[in-house]
Amino acid sequence: MNATVRRPVRLEHRLTQPNASLADLETAVSLAVEYDLAALTVNPWLVKVAKRGLGRSRVTLGTVVGFPHGGQMLSVKAFEASKALEQGATQIDFVLNGGALASGDDETVFNDMLAVVDMAHSALASVGVIIEAQPMSEEHLRRACRLAERAGADHVVTSPGTATARSTMARTRLLRDSVGPRIGVKASGRLRTADQVRDAAEAGATRVSAHLTSAMARQLADNVQPAAATR
């Protein structure tokens, strides 16, 4: 594709692998600050250390809740979010209750979402709903998007970050088509190249989340929207 994307990319570095270490975090913080990324999202136990590392930088510090399957009790997700916010997170992405969604129990899904959304917004943090905990039908995905928008989420997320690039592009288009202009779409997946990141932005993502390398960040630097412009 053409090397110039039509709009700047709000780029997020994701460090949510199960074995992400303090050494990995040090590298991630350096990358996020050097390239003035929109956000750095880390595992919950790394939030406090990441906050210290980011210091006065403009990078949004995010974490994940109900990760990776979303089947936790509502109260557990709300407590997990509250602790992350206390330790300095300013963005929460949480996995919806996919089992309740598949069961047609929209009330449970909505209340689950609302608990975390209200917790995050009370701390002036942004919040996103990770839509896919397991493969879902298009009807389920669209219903989940409607519930997330109704609950007041700031964005919906295509997956916990494990989806292939091709699947991420398709899911991004579907989610963008399923929500109104107020709510953002975060493309999160196994994006291995700068071109794949640009493709995700072209598919309708307002933010792209990937485990970045320095080479990818360098190639994207001219098209990255500065951190200060992303809230």
Region 141-152: mean pLDDT is 98
Mean pLDDT of the chain: 92
Q: What is the pLDDT of residue 134?
A: 73
One-letter-per-residue 3-state SS of 76-123: HHHHHHHHHHHCCCCEEEEECCHHHHHCCCHHHHHHHHHHHHHHHHHC
Sign of the four-CA dihedral 183, 185, 15, 4? negative
Q: What is the pLDDT of residue 231?
A: 40
Spatial neighbors of 182 by CB under 8 A, at least 6 apart, are 149
In terms of phi and psi (left: phi > 0; alpha: psi -120 to 50; beta: otherwise), the region of 90 is alpha
- Is pLDDT at 2 greater than 50 in this prediction? no
225: pLDDT confidence band, cut at 50, 70 and 90?
A: low
- Say which amino acid occupies 78: A
Domain ranges for the chain = 11-223
Distances in Å between the Cα of 217 and the Cα atoms of 30, 160, 224 are 12, 21, 9
Nearest to 191, CA basis, from 180, 179, 171, 69:
171
pLDDT digits (tens, 9 = 90+) for 65-94: 999 999 999 999 999 999 999 999 999 999
Q: Spell out the CATH class of 11-223.
A: alpha beta
pTM for the model: 0.91
Confirm if 89 and 119 have CB atoms less than 8 A apart. no
* The two three-digit tokens of residue 181, written as one number: 């202009």
pLDDT digits (tens, 9 = 90+) for 151-184: 999 999 999 999 999 999 999 999 999 999 999 9
